[in-house]
């Protein structure tokens, strides 16, 4: 029987590691004035998860909401800064 150091154990692969949120995304979200919305180019699920992480990390307040609307037959994603 042989013993291994704990730091030498292989890491588990439970899901994927969280990717860093791009600085451009953080800057654009934090600059939205109250009562205004910003159209995003990413999918709604990506924007929602980033907003959720930013709120959990206390990067932004909980006043931001992700909304999806159909405009002229195309789905568009908006982030609103509610009052």
The separation between CA 70 and the C-alpha centre of its own chain, rounded to angstroms, equals 22
Number of domains comprising the chain? 1
Give the mean model confidence (pLDDT) for residues 30-59: 91
Would 43 be classed as within a structural domain? yes
Parallel/antiparallel/unpaired status of strands 74-81 and 64-71:
antiparallel
**CB–CB of 52/58 below 8 Å?**
no
Range of weakest confidence among 1-5, 50-54, 75-79: 1-5
Would 46 be classed as within a structural domain? yes
Share of the chain above pLDDT 70, in %: 82
- Give the range of the structural domain holding residue 68, as residue numbers without chain letter: 22-81
Query: Within the chain, where are the H helices?
Result: 23-30, 44-56
């Amino acid at each position: 029987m042989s013993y291994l150091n704990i730091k030498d154990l292989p890491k588990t692969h439970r899901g994927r590691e969280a990717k860093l949120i791009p600085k451009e995304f953080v800057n654009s979200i934090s600059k939205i004035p109250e009562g205004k919305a910003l159209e995003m180019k990413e999918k709604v699920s990506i924007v929602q998860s980033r907003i959720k992480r930013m709120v959990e990390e206390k990067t932004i307040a909980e006043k931001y909401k992700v909304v999806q609307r159909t405009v002229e037959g195309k789905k568009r994603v908006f982030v609103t800064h509610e009052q």
